[in-house]
Structure 1
Amino acid sequence: MVFRLRSYQRKTIDNVLNSMRQGHKRIIVQQPPRTGKTVIMAEIARKATDKGNRVMFIIHRKEVLVQAKATFRKQDVNMNLATLGMVQTLTRRVNKLDEPQLILIDEAHHAISNSYRRIIDAFPNAYILYFTATPIRTGHDQLDQIADDIIVGKSIKWLTQHHFLAPFHYYGLGDIDRSKLRKAHGDYSSDSMNEAISRQIYGHIVDQYQRLAKGKQAVVYCHSIASAKEVTKKFHEAGITAEEIDGGTDKKVRDKLVQQFRDQQLTILVNVNLFTEGVDLPNVDCVIMARPTSSLALYLQFSMRCLNPRKGKTAIIIDHVDNFLNFGLPNNDRNWSEAIITKNKRKAKSNTDNGPAIAQCNYCFGTFYRDQITDGCCPLCGHELKKENKDYKIVNVDLQEIKENQAVKHRKQMVNKILEDQVMANVADKTPGQLTTLKELQAYAKLHNYSPGWAWYQFKNRRKH
């Protein structure tokens, strides 16, 4: 039985066909993560093979290839006219391949590399569709060098409003000194991530999961195998079922653990560089980011992993490394038509648009658009936000780089830590009845290992009397 296409998927296919009729042959097709790019490609491939045209599908990950083959078969693609393979294999065999009339490239933000270009250049008469959620690269050269048109899909906000994606709450917790991050090969280096990430993050991940998403199935993104194993250990110590998998995990073990997660026999999957592109994990309700990235593509793959919709679901995104400072929230509107243009060709703009202002509540650490504030209260926890008391902060976001002076920010964090320690010293010999402010109650709770909710409960009760 073939897939029943959604309205926005049919619209995308119509837009692609119209672009072809207008004479475009190399077209970028932008679709957000979790919106069924493979189904769209399979339907386009079915239409092509029904007319006797040969189709080639290219991807760079084996797991995605396996899923794509299954989807193409289910969509009644004539597999005798279809070549599906990994770019690493096809680029070596390019001289032996049957000439396709249509080439479909998945995760096409990679397609500017030599291995893809070798295939593209070998078939100059073929129509080429570059499918990607994020048609932007971290380097200088952009996709305008290999494409002549772009079809932009529905926005994440539209998809959420029409129930094709789940709504979410986003929390930024800042267990990182971002001033220490350094780039290498298009993203932050492993050494700099080791240096930047607080050692306290491992315990914080479990604490904040229990505070914000207790009982929800979650995927944790870590930057190293050592950190992933430490996070898994902390979940075990808290009595929560969790397993760690990475590129070195035996395939049979990996497949078994993923299936256990799908069957809801496992609560937490901790991974290193695995669950980014394509892999189907439909029942994720929470994402925990413990890995910083300078790649918008990775950020959206991380943060949107939990947005598969379900009636009544609100996903939870917990960002321990403040990736939102680079990219805003996942549902920021983004100018993809501008993003595909190589930087020195872009039109100069007198006013840089960094997207809508983002606010962060200093009590629950919730992160949201400023226009979501209702009656002066945090939309996530309901706490009254008083600007003069700095109960929330405004974050300026830029898609390409952090504009905020991170060294200054780090010094502020150190000062706040010193002040927090002083408060703890002041409350050490007091009883709860002698405490008057929320900060004193929070310091007392921290000192005596009380749950975070204890301070809130005490403070709210006192305000009522």
Structure 2
Amino acid sequence: MEVMGMETGSVNDLKTFVEVKSFGDILPKNGTNIRSPYEHQKKAMEALDKINKEESYSTLVVLPTGGGKTYTASMWLLKNAIDKKKKILWIAHRQMLLDQAAESFQKFAYTEVVPHISSFRFRIVSGASSHDRTIDIKADDNLLIISKDSIGRNIDRLDKWLEGEKELYLVVDEAHHSTAKTYRKVINYVKDKVPNLKLIGLTATPFRTAEEEQGLLGKIYSDGVSNGQVARGDIGITYQIGLKELINRQILSKPIFESYFTEENYGDSLGLESWERIQYLDNLPEGIASQMAESAARNKLIVETYKEKQDEYGQTIVFAVNVIHAIQLSALFNKAGIKSDFVVSDIRDGVTGVTVSREDNERKLEAYRNGELQVLVNVNILTEGVDLPKTKTVFLARPTVSSILMTQMVGRALRGTAAGGTSSAYIVSFIDHWNEHIAWVNPESLFAGDNEFQDSDDSERIKRDIQLIAISKIEEFARILDNSVDTIDLERVAFEKRIPIGMYAFNYLEENGMDHSYQVMVYDSTQEAYKNLMES
């Protein structure tokens, strides 16, 4: 069945509507695609053409947020996989990302791109009520777009779909999550079933590419294109372009940074446990999050800041501390005469029984796209995969220690004029007092150095590492001074052996899509064991 409708429009004001269903037969449209790829997207496709000559590979395509990674990948796959009747398995960890991928394949399926087929079948599989289940997978599905949790729990449901396939394209959206156990399980399972697996990871977030720092991600994506040649076992990137280059080309907008001090102090009541939750997990303790959400003065500052400059700020996305904060801020914006709404993950009101569903969120997003809302408040849900090109400003009403999260939040406002967005973008931070206890990410630091978003510059990373090690030693000495704890065995170890030689860092991805970061102290006595663990 045909599952799409199209309206005509200019390249800079492309108006499209696609009704994304759970499955269907896509009939390629006649005529010419009115959207032409930008130069960097053409270069990415050319680089993929080069590595695609290999029988199998595992590689990354790195485009900054707003650089069109889903469009680039879907256009290339329509031509190189769908048109050649090769199957595609597309995996992501959020429902919005699944729908966005399906929409892109449907929207750009023109006969000029897929001239050798009359139709192809897609299927979206997840736990969402609007999507199919793994039991619905059919052997003749050409494009399977599936949540990592759904397939992770029922991986054998792929067997009939994979049976007899000699070549397969496996795409991991937001590939910086690939190190999660479920992703690795799926990748390895498919690799064992298909002789020639072509693994492509899409991400807006570059990782440090020094050989010793690649870790698990570098092991998953080990092939790339370097100096025009395919490189095996190297940096694992086929194509990468920097943020600043896309700003210069007006594909992304120029960021303008503003900071407002709330005069709120949260550092004094911060204990060690709370500090660790923030530093290691980027997770504000519930008590502190509640303080921030319920601060009338802080919330007033956020609303008044927008009200005073609403003509300059234009359409704005606000990143709130938690769900309560999002709801409260949206109410305050509306009270101030500013049309606002909130989008959050599925929640149910314990008193009224009313549920904020995925469909409610989509309705609000569409109202924002249509200009019916000036402000959209959310809690992390708009960090990945949602296309809101007219956003001119982001309000950072929540702090983060994660450069990845900050990159994604800032990226929401970076769509430039050449891409139907704005020439400039306001990145507005609301800064609280933490008595320098926390190494919060400064959004301006993402633009420091070369053309890439920075995971965090080495000096800051080293400073934080030393700080962590110092705290570890303070805790140890406290135990020695505490007569109630037997530390005889510890004191027998030479002092230099008690000093950590470094840390292993890793991410943990929950089923709800929350990405947590961890660091583990490594000592001389445990170095070999951790090394063996990482290599296994």
TM bracket (short chain): 0.5 to 0.7
Q: Does the aligned pair in 2 maintain the 1:150–1:337 contact within 8 Å?
A: no
The residue that corresponds to 1:216 in the other structure is 314
Q: Given the alignment of the two structures, is residue 316 of structure 1 paired with residue 316 of structure 2, yes or no? A: no
Per-residue displacement from partner, 1:375-397 (whole Å, max 9, x unpaired)?
Answer: xxxxxxxxxxxxxxxxxxxxxx6
- Normalised by the size of structure 1, how large is the TM-score? 0.67
Offset at residue 325 of structure 1 (A): 4.1
The residue that corresponds to 1:246 in the other structure is 344
The residue identity in structure 1 corresponding to 2:153 is R
Deviates more, 1:147-156 or 1:162-171: 147-156
The residue identity in structure 2 corresponding to 1:57 is W
The residue that corresponds to 1:182 in the other structure is 275
Offset at residue 161 of structure 1 (A): 0.7
The residue that corresponds to 2:88 in the other structure is 55
Deviates more, 1:33-42 or 1:97-106: 97-106
Per-residue displacement from partner, 1:344-379 (whole Å, max 9, x unpaired)?
Answer: xxxxxxxx755xxxxxxxxxxxxxxxxxxxxxxxxx
Offset at residue 74 of structure 1 (A): 2.5
1:82 to 143, 146, 150: 143
The residue that corresponds to 2:528 in the other structure is none
The residue that corresponds to 1:26 in the other structure is 58
Offset at residue 18 of structure 1 (A): 2.8
Q: Given the alignment of the two structures, is residue 304 of structure 1 paired with residue 411 of structure 2, yes or no? A: yes
Q: Given the alignment of the two structures, is residue 156 of structure 1 paired with residue 243 of structure 2, yes or no? A: yes
Per-residue displacement from partner, 1:197-250 (whole Å, max 9, x unpaired)?
Answer: 493320111122234444611111011122222222332332211122211223
Q: Does the aligned pair in 1 maintain the 2:243–2:451 contact within 8 Å?
A: no
The alpha-carbon distance between structure 1 residues 177 and 242, as it changes in their structure 2 partners (threshold 3 A), is: same
Deviates more, 1:326-335 or 1:249-258: 326-335
* Partner Cα separation in structure 2 for residue 15 and residue 282 of structure 1: 27
* Partner Cα separation in structure 1 for residue 183 and residue 151 of structure 2: 9
Q: Does the aligned pair in 1 maintain the 2:252–2:414 contact within 8 Å?
A: yes
The alpha-carbon distance between structure 1 residues 400 and 253, as it changes in their structure 2 partners (threshold 3 A), is: farther
Offset at residue 192 of structure 1 (A): 6.7
* Partner Cα separation in structure 1 for residue 386 and residue 301 of structure 2: 27
Q: How is 1:228-377 mapped onto 2 (pairs within 5 angstroms)?
A: 228-247=326-345, 248=347, 249-310=356-417, 313-321=423-431, 325-326=441-442, 328-333=444-449
Q: Does the aligned pair in 2 maintain the 1:105–1:129 contact within 8 Å?
A: yes
Offset at residue 145 of structure 1 (A): 2.8
Q: Does the aligned pair in 1 maintain the 2:253–2:423 contact within 8 Å?
A: yes
The residue identity in structure 2 corresponding to 1:104 is V
The residue that corresponds to 2:513 in the other structure is none
Unaligned runs of 5+ in 1: 341-351, 355-396, 406-465
Offset at residue 102 of structure 1 (A): 1.1
The residue that corresponds to 1:72 in the other structure is 105
Q: Does the aligned pair in 2 maintain the 1:177–1:197 contact within 8 Å?
A: no
Q: Given the alignment of the two structures, is residue 120 of structure 1 paired with residue 192 of structure 2, yes or no? A: no
Per the alignment, in what secondary structure is the counterpart of residue 91 of structure 1?
Answer: helix
1:132 to 203, 207, 211: 203
Q: Does the aligned pair in 1 maintain the 2:404–2:455 contact within 8 Å?
A: no
Offset at residue 55 of structure 1 (A): 1.2
* Partner Cα separation in structure 2 for residue 402 and residue 267 of structure 1: 41
Q: Given the alignment of the two structures, is residue 105 of structure 1 paired with residue 172 of structure 2, yes or no? A: yes
Deviates more, 1:164-173 or 1:250-259: 250-259
Q: Given the alignment of the two structures, is residue 202 of structure 1 paired with residue 299 of structure 2, yes or no? A: yes
Offset at residue 313 of structure 1 (A): 3.1
Offset at residue 140 of structure 1 (A): 9.8
Offset at residue 105 of structure 1 (A): 0.6
The residue identity in structure 1 corresponding to 2:447 is N
Offset at residue 288 of structure 1 (A): 0.4
User: Which 4+ runs in 1 deviate beyond 6 A?
Assistant: 335-340, 402-405
Q: Given the alignment of the two structures, is residue 15 of structure 1 paired with residue 47 of structure 2, yes or no? A: yes
The residue that corresponds to 2:131 in the other structure is none
The residue identity in structure 1 corresponding to 2:388 is L
The alpha-carbon distance between structure 1 residues 187 and 120, as it changes in their structure 2 partners (threshold 3 A), is: same
Offset at residue 36 of structure 1 (A): 0.8
* Partner Cα separation in structure 2 for residue 403 and residue 211 of structure 1: 42
Q: Does the aligned pair in 2 maintain the 1:135–1:143 contact within 8 Å?
A: no
The residue identity in structure 2 corresponding to 1:194 is A
Offset at residue 21 of structure 1 (A): 4.5
Aligned length: 351
* Partner Cα separation in structure 1 for residue 430 and residue 56 of structure 2: 43
The alpha-carbon distance between structure 1 residues 163 and 404, as it changes in their structure 2 partners (threshold 3 A), is: farther
Per the alignment, in what secondary structure is the counterpart of residue 281 of structure 1?
Answer: coil
The residue identity in structure 2 corresponding to 1:42 is S
Q: Does the aligned pair in 2 maintain the 1:136–1:142 contact within 8 Å?
A: no
* Partner Cα separation in structure 2 for residue 44 and residue 280 of structure 1: 20
Offset at residue 20 of structure 1 (A): 4.6
* Partner Cα separation in structure 1 for residue 190 and residue 372 of structure 2: 47
Unaligned runs of 5+ in 2: 1-31, 115-119, 122-140, 223-235, 348-355, 433-438, 469-536
* Partner Cα separation in structure 2 for residue 337 and residue 239 of structure 1: 36
The residue identity in structure 2 corresponding to 1:122 is Y
- Kindly indicate which of the two structures has a greater share of residues assigned to strand: 2
Offset at residue 298 of structure 1 (A): 1.3
The alpha-carbon distance between structure 1 residues 333 and 29, as it changes in their structure 2 partners (threshold 3 A), is: farther
Q: Given the alignment of the two structures, is residue 171 of structure 1 paired with residue 258 of structure 2, yes or no? A: yes
Q: Given the alignment of the two structures, is residue 35 of structure 1 paired with residue 132 of structure 2, yes or no? A: no
The alpha-carbon distance between structure 1 residues 132 and 399, as it changes in their structure 2 partners (threshold 3 A), is: farther
Offset at residue 258 of structure 1 (A): 1.6
* Partner Cα separation in structure 2 for residue 218 and residue 64 of structure 1: 21
Q: How is 1:370-389 mapped onto 2 (pairs within 5 angstroms)?
A: none
The alpha-carbon distance between structure 1 residues 398 and 170, as it changes in their structure 2 partners (threshold 3 A), is: farther
* Partner Cα separation in structure 1 for residue 443 and residue 466 of structure 2: 11
The residue identity in structure 2 corresponding to 1:206 is V
* Partner Cα separation in structure 2 for residue 294 and residue 167 of structure 1: 23
The residue identity in structure 1 corresponding to 2:407 is L
- Normalised by the size of structure 2, how large is the TM-score? 0.59
